[in-house]
Amino acid sequence: MSKQRKITLSESEIPTHWYNIVADMPNKPLPPLHPGTQQPIGPEALAPLFPMELIKQEVTTDKWVEIPDEVRDLYSIWRPTPLFRAYELEKALGTKSKIYYKYEGVSPAGSHKPNTAIPQAYYNAKEGVKKISTETGAGQWGSSLAFACKLFGIECEVFMVKVSYEGKPYRKLMMNTWGATVHPSPTTLTQAGRIVLEKDPNSPGSLGIAISEAVEVAATNDDTKYALGSVLNHVLMHQTIIGLEAKKQLEKAGDYPDIVIAPFGGGSNFAGITFPFLQDKLVEGKNVRAVAVEPTSCPKLTRGVFRYDFGDTVGMTPLLPMYTLGHNFVPSPIHAGGLRYHGAGAIISQLLKDGIIEADAINQIECFEAGVLFARTEGIIPAPEANHGIAEVIRQAKQADEEGVSKTILFNLCGHGHFDMSSYDQYLSGKLVDFEVTQEQINSSLAELNTPVIA
Amino acid sequence: MSKQRKITLSESEIPTHWYNIVADMPNKPLPPLHPGTQQPIGPEALAPLFPMELIKQEVTTDKWVEIPDEVRDLYSIWRPTPLFRAYELEKALGTKSKIYYKYEGVSPAGSHKPNTAIPQAYYNAKEGVKKISTETGAGQWGSSLAFACKLFGIECEVFMVKVSYEGKPYRKLMMNTWGATVHPSPTTLTQAGRIVLEKDPNSPGSLGIAISEAVEVAATNDDTKYALGSVLNHVLMHQTIIGLEAKKQLEKAGDYPDIVIAPFGGGSNFAGITFPFLQDKLVEGKNVRAVAVEPTSCPKLTRGVFRYDFGDTVGMTPLLPMYTLGHNFVPSPIHAGGLRYHGAGAIISQLLKDGIIEADAINQIECFEAGVLFARTEGIIPAPEANHGIAEVIRQAKQADEEGVSKTILFNLCGHGHFDMSSYDQYLSGKLVDFEVTQEQINSSLAELNTPVIA
């Protein structure tokens, strides 16, 4: 066998530091604002929600942040993750380009989310926190945090978007297996939930509502903190372990990507694989493209505006500078639940604003078509979120072929689709539909915003 | 990090040959008999069902059989699989013993089954076979063969035990995603199915019935062959790739097992991990124990008899020498669907008869208790089948601690439980029950046999 499909690293090659892209950004992200006063807030304002060490990481401009030994040790439960050359997919596409994918689905929860769940649980445990509350949409984040909390003996309470709770019972059971308590959100347990239920007793819930509930539980209980699975700076930084490993692996393969691709929900998956390569672009002027792929039904990067907005629906979180569709925007019920979020994180938004990264939007039928081709060639059945990355890879490879060039394309296969088989059923039986977002919908959602605009 | 959790191999270290234990057995397995004449059959009798190369492998006494390059190449889609030291489980048990597990759940289908599906599809494709029919219970085997057939452009038709077809729709969808046709068995498509349905129109099906249907389709269609996922000699041999890799990995860790453990259904999982170590026992007299773990509700190894029996329910297959409960024995509906089979393969049965291997039987509640502990410590949620191995590991570790000794224990974590979460729901909500098999049940099932006894 001359060709090598899988490029592995040993445990000793697990990176020792996370990469903080803020250090290398030409324009730093704008500060968060207080939801009430709309004035910039300092780290202390976040103290009710997060342990101090994570708040420090949220605001640090240090380029490298050391990964604690205990976290590296627990990372080794599934890390380093493999990097694959997608020979069978390349063959099926008949492309001249080389396609690599980093596979994060080997983690206990089946996605990249434990990369930040483990350190978040670690820092909370170190500061004596007894319980962590969080929200989850598709369930990837909730199950990752459930597992991480179990390792550190912390109680875990998850507010799961009701429509997912009912539609994805196995994800909920996964959290239960790891010992977490899971509620279908909106609940009557919180003020935020009760407000929503009063307006709409049959509310199917949303990520924004679930965040409001989880934040409220943390803010009103002394021994409880809150954890978020994406968007925030420290979360994105934890995920850079993905790209740092991928760089080492590509180096072993004697390769470097022309294009790095990842699906885009809140930004953690995308940041994880691209930031370590963007470092080369920002520092050495390396010619590498980073493409974020969002669903056309939730097009904040390609059709949203750059302004301050809330991270949640009720308006309890600090205001963040973001590309947003407005925090009241309700995305259509596509199967990639992890991509149904109205905004993007502060770092990503600044990078997009500055033209350092690119974005594309793809319909879900094209994504599932790509996912099934991937399953039938590479063997892994991808999560619906991951299918967005694959569809973009195929677009880029076809374009390169049309131009008569060969590109080296890297993408993050962020998770497997074992808990999403009913979505595949919809696709295979021809029942899957695409959703159009009209400009009126976006305009009307944005018109409701009374948050600060950015000059 | 001084301790190493995960012992990996590079692709170039994928073994080049499968190990055939028959070469080293003091007593060779008895020959199969013709179902009608009850006389020993030669390889030619199997020609309607299998391609010639697999028939040769079925009867060969060569110690090593070369793995074709194309098969090794496709193995590299997921192989070598990782070997883990279960540090977190050891800590939770407070044991002095060392526990290692080989993790086969990283394969596309999520279990060890593709190890034989790939070579079986390869040899069929090489001989121009257009279609392969097979049966599946829990769905692991069916999905593995569906994937393998897709890689070689062969049509795949799966008879899935009806109760599983209805209870595990996601496994069926996985097969569909890989392009296979799946029928709930018994069907009206075959003579065998119609006979069963005539007697019992509401038959929930069984592995034995599904085998009868799949064999009939192959036997009555020129361009169709049949494939079996366990029991037969060549299937067990393909699985030895597991133990061969594990030996290399333990060598890297500077260790050798005192006890090797695997769940037992038809024998392929158990053979895969233990045979390469049994080689050392048979050839060098090495002191290594191999323990097969079956469910108490289907106790062929611990309470069955050693005699000739059919592999299927209707009586279409050759008669094999096996530990059996009788081919009409209907196991209780435990969640480990892959272990609900009345008999054991010829090689395993001979090894048990000769005292070279051991067997133990465990109730499913004890198994799920072990599986949940494993999930909460090591992170991976195991398949119900795999939980039997874990429960035995815990028994052995506790016994060693009672005796004041430290053992090195290796087990095969044959698959993940992502498609079995409803079983965990049953366990976590206290609804799981154990099933007792009375001696009368066994006696009455065995009394129906009119197959040759073994002196």
Dihedral sign for Cα atoms in the order A193, A196, A201, A204: negative
**Average pLDDT over chain A, rounded to whole?**
95
Of A178, A424, A425, the CB nearest to B376: A178
Contact assignment for B76 to A1 by CB distance below 8 Å:
yes
Q: How far is CA B72 from CA A1, B51, B141, B368, B407, in A?
A: 8, 19, 20, 35, 33
Q: Is A429 exposed, middle or buried (0-12, 13-18, 19+ CB in 10 A)?
A: exposed
The residue among A207 and B275 whose pLDDT is bigger is B275
State residue B2's pLDDT score. 60
To the nearest 10 degrees (0 to 180), the angle between helices B169-177 and B140-152 is 10
Percent of chain A topping pLDDT 70: 100
Are A185 and A136 in contact by the 8 Å Cβ rule? The answer is no
Is the Cβ pair A1, B378 closer than 8 Å?
no
pLDDT above 70 (res B341): yes
Choose the closest CB to A8 out of B8, B381, B419: B8
pLDDT of A74 reads 95
Amino acid A2: pLDDT: 60
Q: How far is A305 from chain B (nearest CA, A)?
A: 38
Ranking A388-397, B27-36, B130-139, B334-343 by mean pLDDT, the lowest is: B334-343
- Rounded to the nearest angstrom, the minimum Cα separation between A154 and chain B is 12
CA–CA distance, B414 with A260 (Å, rounded to integer): 34
Q: From the DSSP assignment, how many helices (H) and strands (E) are in chain A?
A: 17, 15
Chain A residues with CB under 8 Å of B378 CB are: 77
pLDDT per position as a tens digit, A394-453: 999 999 999 999 999 999 999 999 999 999 999 999 999 999 899 999 999 999 999 999
Calculate mean pLDDT across residues A201-215: 92
Query: Residue B419 and residue A418: Cβ atoms within 8 Å?
Result: yes
As a whole number of angstroms, the distance between CA B412 and CA B99 comes to: 11
Q: Where are the domains of chain A?
A: 6-12+69-110+236-447
Q: Look at residue A95 and tell me whether its pLDDT is greater than 50.
A: yes
Per-residue pLDDT at A455: 82
Please tell me which of the candidates A6, A11, A177 has its beta carbon nearest to residue B428: A177
- Whether the upstream peptide bond of residue B80 has omega within 30° of 0, thus cis, is yes
State residue B206's pLDDT score. Answer: 86
Chain A contact set for B174 (CB, 8 A): 381, 421
Edge-first strand listing for the sheet containing B98-103: B6-7, B83-85, B98-103, B408-413, B259-263, B289-295, B358-362
Res. B1: pLDDT tops 80:
no
Q: What is the mean pLDDT of residues A357-379?
A: 97
For A376, the closest of B77, B178, B428 (CB atoms) is: B178
Instruction: For residues B278-297, give the mean pLDDT.
Output: 97
pLDDT higher than threshold 80 for residue A1: no
State residue B289 phi and psi, 5-degree precision: -95, 140
Contacts of B155 in chain A (CB under 8 A): none
Are A136 and A447 contacting, i.e. CB atoms less than 8 angstroms apart?
Answer: no
- A5–B77: do the CB atoms touch at under 8 Å? yes
CA dihedral A17→A18→A23→A25, nearest 10 degrees, is 140
Each residue's pLDDT tens digit, B83-109: 999 999 999 999 999 999 999 999 999
Residue A6 tokens read as 């899988």
Q: Tell me the percentage of chain A whose pLDDT exceeds 90.
A: 90
Residues of chain A neighbouring B424 (CB-CB closer than 8 A):
173, 176-177
Query: What's the alpha-carbon Rg for chain A, to the nearest Å?
Result: 20
Question: Could you tell me which of B367, B82, B423, B125 has the C-alpha nearest to residue B253?
Answer: B82
Report the complex ipTM.
Answer: 0.93
Calpha distance B440→B113 (Å, rounded): 34
* 3-state SS class at A13: helix
Determine whether domain B6-12+69-110+236-447 maps to CATH 3.30.750.24. no
CA–CA–CA angle B135, B140, B146 (5° rounding):
65
